[in-house]
Structures are given as structure tokens and as C-alpha cells.
Amino acid sequence: AGWSVCFRRNFITSPSRLQSCMSAWVIDQYGTNGVLKFAEEITVPTVNSPSEVMIKVHAASLNPLDISMRGGYGAKFLKLRRDPMSVMDNNNDSEFPLILGRDVSGVVVDCGSEVTHFVPGDEVWAAVPPWKQGSLAEFVTLTEYEVSQKPKLLSHTEAASIPYVANTALSALVNAGGLCRDSSSNKRVLITGGSGGVGTFSIQLLKAWGAHVTVTCSQNAEGLIRGLGADEVVDYTAEDAHEQLGMMEKFDVILDSVGGETEHWAMGLLKPWSGAKYVTLVTPLLFNTDSMGLLGGMFQTGYTLHSKATQNIVSSGVFYRWGFYAPDGPALDEVSKLMDAGKILPVVEAQFPFTQVPQAFQKLEQGHARGKTVVRVA
């Protein structure tokens, strides 16, 4: 079902009566930054199932996915996740008005009858799945399992910089990379693209877990990356960057957040025949379903993954895997503890007020992120 626009204003009259309309940045079509529109009459996403939690958004942050989704990336796949019946109708635009924004830090305002871990007034954080309405809005509603208590020592602005990259890094490193808190000490991990959102979080998580961390980044990010605890830093723009990496002791896990040609030169940096894993976050799944349709795209994606995985295990005994964001509130609970213990720090590069969401998109689109871009909503 599409998201209806609210034509009636009905503001809060008592704590139990929530307003029915809210402000949000929406898109009604895919395109460049001009499609972002500020709307004041969007229906508030109220609690509709017993396990849902409604959150008043205090801060949101942007991810490269927001730029891609604004342009229509993943539209076919995500539309199917939102509304399985839409697969019958190629022309419907039921996803509009679509709200982008994947991270939220805010306060619980309402809970379904079966919610056990949260009550109104709790300060929480979460990563909003891309198939749900996003956090560039006054309110967002999620299932309890996707939400977590916000770290106490962080402001909402700081907290909003973490959930999406944390859920992505944990899913990639744990599920695909086979690492965890108790198995990482003395493991050698290479992170490519270390200066962005995923990289700055992953470096700190892996150091907290006791791993040895090598990072590739631009020369001018080296100070930031070393400050986050990286053991070795290689400037990927240096002519001899691959030679420098090749001379190092081989790695147990590579987390690749750059993609492209990386897998061609990086696979040989892994320890052969010892369970080493190459995990890339840059996968063709959504590109394929956009360009070939759902069935063709999924078939092609499965075939590509199977052939790359087989080729690498047969030729060099290393596992080739894809990493994906996965919503996971309990995983954020663990991150929360590390942040309150000061073991992981937020890296907020830029902040924008809610009135300047298009400027925040512009900033992200320029690339060269050094941590995260956050939007203060409340």
C-alpha cells in the first residue's frame, strides 16, 4: 500500500494523543537532489502491530545508500520487500512519497502491546531498513527487534552516526567474516576504504576485539585513522600501495568497502588454505535486479556469487563472500556498551539542521567522507 498524505492537522493535546501529521523530507520521484521536498502534511507512522515502537526522531544520518536510493537504485527489490503484491504491477509507484534516511537516534513515544524492552520516554537508536520509511522525518516506526537503547554518554547527534554502519560492519565481520569478540585477538584484518562511515566504525570495533588492523585510505586521512587505533595505514594513492600491502604478513580477513578492482589485487593478500575470508560490501544484487528484473537479477547475482566463491576456494583456498546490512537491535546493544566504555567513538564529520537536508545530500555526494554526515531533526 502507498503512503497517504495527511490533509488534517491535529496536534498533541495530551500525552496519550499523538499528532496525526508530521514534517518529513520526501521524494515523489527518483532523480537528483532537486527531487527532495520538505512536506509538512505526512501521515505519522503510528504503531500498527503489537511489536512496533514509534520513535520521535532527534537526529538522523546519511549513508551512500540514500544518494543511490534517491536516484532509484534498488527500487524493484525494495518495492517487493515493502509490498509483495507490487510485483504484479510494474507501473505502480506505491513507494511514494518515500522518506530516506537510515539512522535514527530519538525517544520512544508509543509502543505496541507486546513490546517488552521499551517504554515511552526511552532514548533509543536504530538503523531503519531500506524497505521501511526512513528517518528524515519527525517520527519513525520500527519493530522492537530493530531498536536498541542509545548509549548514555552520546548525544543524539553522535548516536545517529552509528547504527547503519554498525549493523553493516557487524553483519559483514561476524556472519560473513567469521569474527567475533572472543575470536579476533591476533587475527590480522585489512579494511579498504577505512576513512568512511563503515571503515571508521570497523577499525574501532576490531581494535576493541583485539584484532591487528591494517587500513587503506587517502594520505590526508592517515591522522584520523591512526587516532582510531589502526596498527598500519597504507595510502592507496601511493604508486607502490599494492607492493607495501604485499610485503606485509598475510591477512585472515579483508573487509572491502571500496569494491571495483579491489578483489583482483587483494585476494592474494589473504592467508591461503587457512579459512581466510574476503568480504566485500559492494555487491551487484540491487544493480542486477534494477537492470534485469527481479528474477533475472537474482539468478544472475546467485550465479556470480557462486562462480567467484568456487573459483577462489579452488585456486587459493580463500572464502569469497558478500556482506550486507542486517537490522539487529541486540547487536546495537553490544555496540552501545562499547561506546559507553569509550572503546568506540563517534566520528561526525558534518552536521546539518533539518532545514538543510539537500545540503547534507550534496556534502555526501561530493565523496571523500571522513566519518559521518548527521542531520539534527529535533
Binding status of residue 197 toward ligand NDP by CB under 6 A: yes
Is the previous residue joined to 15 through a cis bond, with omega within 30 degrees of 0? no
Cβ 234 vs Cβ 215: under 8 Å: yes
Binding status of residue 300 toward ligand NDP by CB under 6 A: no
Measured between alpha carbons, how far is residue 371 from residues 23, 346, 364, 367 in Å? 27, 8, 11, 11
E strand residue ranges, 188-344: 188-192, 212-217, 232-235, 253-256, 277-280, 319-322
Query: Between 219 and 274, whose beta carbon lies closer to ligand NDP?
Result: 219
Looking at 20-28, 115-123, 195-203, 330-338, which segment touches ligand NDP (CB under 6 A)? Answer: 195-203
Binding status of residue 320 toward ligand NDP by CB under 6 A: no
d(CA 215, CA 47): 43
d(CA 282, CA 199): 13
Q: What is the nearest approach in angstroms of ligand NDP to the Cβ of residue 10? A: 37
Cβ 233 vs Cβ 171: under 8 Å: no
Binding status of residue 305 toward ligand NDP by CB under 6 A: no
Q: What is the nearest approach in angstroms of ligand NDP to the Cβ of residue 271? A: 22
Query: Between 44 and 369, whose beta carbon lies closer to ligand NDP?
Result: 369
Q: Out of 74, 106, 151, 199, point to the residue binding ligand NDP (CB under 6 A).
A: 199
Query: Between 151 and 199, whose beta carbon lies closer to ligand NDP?
Result: 199
Per CB under 6 A, contacts with ligand NDP among 105-124 are: none
Cβ 98 vs Cβ 10: under 8 Å: no
Looking at 1-9, 61-69, 146-154, 340-348, which segment touches ligand NDP (CB under 6 A)? Answer: 61-69
Binding status of residue 161 toward ligand NDP by CB under 6 A: no
Given the DSSP bridges, would you call strands 212-217 and 232-235 parallel, antiparallel or unpaired?
A: parallel
d(CA 75, CA 63): 17
Q: What is the nearest approach in angstroms of ligand NDP to the Cβ of residue 371? A: 7
Q: Out of 218, 244, 304, 316, point to the residue binding ligand NDP (CB under 6 A).
A: 218
d(CA 295, CA 76): 11
d(CA 230, CA 224): 9
Measured between alpha carbons, how far is residue 87 from residues 37, 111, 227, 246, 290 in Å? 27, 31, 48, 47, 13
Looking at 42-50, 133-141, 179-187, 362-370, which segment touches ligand NDP (CB under 6 A)? Answer: 362-370
Please give the full DSSP string across 345-358, using - where no structure is assigned: ---EEEEEEGGGHH
Binding status of residue 163 toward ligand NDP by CB under 6 A: no
Q: What is the nearest approach in angstroms of ligand NDP to the Cβ of residue 242? A: 11
Binding status of residue 325 toward ligand NDP by CB under 6 A: yes
Binding status of residue 204 toward ligand NDP by CB under 6 A: no
Measured between alpha carbons, how far is residue 81 from residues 75, 101, 129, 178, 283 in Å? 10, 17, 10, 27, 18
Query: Between 22 and 253, whose beta carbon lies closer to ligand NDP?
Result: 253
Binding status of residue 289 toward ligand NDP by CB under 6 A: no
Nearest to 81 by CA among 373, 325, 319, 368: 325
Q: Out of 73, 118, 236, 361, point to the residue binding ligand NDP (CB under 6 A).
A: 236
Binding-site size, ligand NDP (CB under 6 A): 27
Q: Out of 18, 53, 56, 64, point to the residue binding ligand NDP (CB under 6 A).
A: 64
Query: Which residue has its beta carbon closest to ligand NDP?
Result: 196
Binding status of residue 81 toward ligand NDP by CB under 6 A: no
Cβ 161 vs Cβ 201: under 8 Å: no
Q: What are phi and psi of 128, to 5 degrees?
A: -85, 120
Q: What is the nearest approach in angstroms of ligand NDP to the Cβ of residue 47? A: 27
Query: Between 115 and 203, whose beta carbon lies closer to ligand NDP?
Result: 203
Query: What residues line the site for ligand NDP (CB under 6 A)?
Result: 63-65, 165, 168, 192-193, 195-199, 216-218, 236, 257-258, 281-283, 323-325, 367-369
